[in-house]
Amino acid sequence: MQDQMLLQVFVQFGLAGLVGFLLGLEREMSAKPGSYIGIRDFVFFALLGATSAFIAGQYSNAWVIIAVFVGVIVILTTQYWASHGEDTGITTEVAAVLTFLLGVLLIMEATELAIAIAIV
């Protein structure tokens, strides 16, 4: 039974990394040259969401997700204001927040919903 649970966690984290990679690839292909957020960052945001959701589930404390989410928002806000002169859109930053939330959904066993949202 324990092996089955471990396999499920690996699959969930793998899906989070894959969703982050695919969203990051799409954003990098459509971004202007000199954009600061790339594929690795999107994988990072998805895995941050997945890790925070996993820790929150282990300790039955949803505040972990909220704290990490606030940290992600601070990072993205700082990056947006630092590059505000060159880049006027916030689509990439919003996609990064969505990627974090998709990582959370994947760990919370809403896999079909997360994949459907990622496709849209």
Nearest-angstrom CA–CA distance, 116 and 112: 6
pLDDT given for residue 10 in this prediction: 92
Q: Amino acid letter at 23? A: L
Average model confidence (pLDDT) across the chain:
88
pLDDT given for residue 87 in this prediction: 60
Q: How far is CA 88 from CA 81, 93, 116, in A?
A: 10, 11, 28
Task: Say what the pTM is.
Answer: 0.87
Which residues of the chain fall short of a pLDDT of 70?
1, 32-35, 84-88
Q: What is the 3-state secondary structure (H, E, C) of 30-72?
A: HCCCCCCCCHHHHHHHHHHHHHHHHHHHHHCCCHHHHHHHHHH
